[in-house]
Every structure is written in structure tokens, then in C-alpha cells.
Amino acid sequence: MQPLFRALSGVLAVGLFAGASAPGAEANAGPPGRSTTTQGAIDWKPCPQNAAVECGTLRLPVDWARPSGEGFDLAVARRKATDPDRRVGVLLVNPGGPGDSGVDFAVRRAKSHFSAEIQAKFDIIGFDPRGVGGSQPVKCSQKLLDQRPSAYPRNQAEFDRLADFNRTLRKDCRRHSGPVFDHTDTLSVVRDMDAIRRSLGEKKINYFGHSYGTLIGQQYAEQYGDRIRTMALTANVDHSLGAREFLVSSAATTEDSFHQFVEWCDRTSSCALHGRDVTAVWDGLLARADRAEIRDPENRTSFSPQTRSHASPSKRSTDRMGKSWPHI
């Protein structure tokens, strides 16, 4: 049994379309707490992966509506400002996913992602959202995942099969993960973020969110707008859209980008496909994938109909919520 770090957007979407509620959808129905009391301290120690960065955990309630109930340890990492005399404050980061590790981002990626000026002035704080990585990760059965159908149904029967699988998978993951499974909603993560702020003794935070991390930032701004100094959101996700509208808008945007690329390539001699029918090349590539004739140079495995959409370029939607199923 291993953590489920990411869920393929096609699988997630079908589960939602079939009427299954997302974990924790009913959690925190009331307004979030506005407590200004000091949160428990984080016991910082050098990170095993990089002694120049500090790692620790923060004990938080699984259910914020029952703060004295069962708890879990939220994994946190801190890369201190390189110029303490110019330090401005803390910069919380979430790289998205959903399911990407903020701890890993702070430990391994932040140094190359942020400018020297940002690193000089801010303590970069990464955290693994509840249910992810080191924060009591959601776990699912490998045996069940090995039976997963294609995430790209071509007809109603395949769609129904995928929806049934999603329901079964949800029950399996819930059984193996425990109470935290029902409280992995965004608002609970937002309250965890504010607990980090209190633990660090900061009146306000700076925040950087990418992709799904932009939803977390938007939700934090809605609930705790007076506790934000600055916020930067990249690859922004529209918080007002439901799952269906999100996927439709993503597909439309991808199609538009594809057609713009075709037009650019047609008029630009430096394009590798200049002078060729780019759409035909793309369709041919997909046909080769159907025949398992394309191999991943990194792991030498063939791409197959299980790993991509069967739609034409003008009808294909893209996966923006997660790259692929993890090896579990």
C-alpha cells in the first residue's frame, strides 16, 4: 500500500459527473475559525534530503469542526531567507497537482524556481497538503488500481465502467486511508495554512500557488484576506467553474492553442514541421500510439490507447489536474 499522490483528471471528472461527492465536500460547513491564538510550534530539524533546509511537522485536527478530536501531522519545510537583514517575511508555496509535494518543492525545487532576490528576502515555506506525501497520505489498493479501465472512454459502456470503477476506488481509498479521507477538502487545507501562519508567529503571509495551488490561494483570500501581504497565482484555475465547465474550457483552450501553433508553423520557416500538414502529422502520431509503436525514452515502455485520448485534435481535452496515475 502506497500513497496516492495524484489522480488523473479524466478519472476524477467521471466520478464527479456520476454524482459522487468529493471527499470532505460536507466538511467545515460553518465559517472558518478566526482564532488568533498561538498555534503549536514546529520542531524544526535539518531535512534528510538537504541539511540546508529545515523540516518538521505540525499537529493539526483531522476535522476542524472537532479541534479536540483525532489529529494528524502536517509535513512542513522551511528554506530560510539568505539575507536575514533584509528579510520581509514568509512565502508559503503550493505547486499544485492536486497532490504535488510542497515539502519537496521547498527542499529541491525552490532554489531554481525563485530568484536570488526572493530567496534573500523570504523564508520559503512548503507543506504537503493533508492527504499528500508526508501529511497522512491517502492510500489505495495496488491490486484495485491494476484493474483500472482507460481514463478516456470512447462510448457509453466504457464511460459507465469507468464511473463504476471510480466509485469502487473511492470506497477502497477511504477504507485504507482512515478519517482524513473525508477531510481533504480545500477549505480544510486553507485552515491548515492559517495554522502554519500562527505557528510561525506571522501576522501576514505571502503566497505563491501554481495550477491547483491557485484554488487554495483563492480560497485563503476569501476566508483570510486580511492575513495576506502579497499573493502570486500562476496557471490560474477559475474557482467559479464546476468540474464539467472546467474541462470544457480546458479543451477549448487547448484546441485554440493547437490551431495557433499550426498557423505559426505554417508561416515560420524555423518550425520543425514547416511546410507539412501539422494536423495530419499529429493524427499519424496518435495512430502510431494506438498501435503501441511509440516508446517512452526514459522507461522504454510503449504508449498505448490506455494512456491517451482517442479523440481528434479538435475534440481532445487535456489533463491539467494531474499528469498520470502514480506507481502505487
**Residue 304 pLDDT:** 53
pLDDT below 50 — which residues of the chain?
2-31, 36-37, 305-328
Return the ∠ at Cα 315 (arms to 312 and 321), rounded to 5°: 110
**Residue 32 pLDDT:** 53
**Residue 113 pLDDT:** 94
Phi, psi at residue 124, to the nearest 5°?
A: -85, 120
Structurally, what CATH architecture does the domain formed by 36-136+184-234 represent?
A: 3-Layer(aba) Sandwich (3.40)
Residue of 232, 246, 204, 200 lying closest to 94 (CA atoms): 232
Instruction: Give how far the C-alpha of residue 177 lies from the chain's centroid of Cα atoms, to the nearest Å.
Output: 18
Distance from C-alpha of 170 to C-alpha of 166, rounded to nearest angstrom? 6
Distance from C-alpha of 75 to C-alpha of 69, rounded to nearest angstrom? 19
Helices H / strands E in the chain, number of each: 10, 9
Every domain of the chain with CATH number 3.40.50.1820 lies at: 36-136+184-234
Q: What is the pTM of this model?
A: 0.72
**Residue 23 pLDDT:** 38
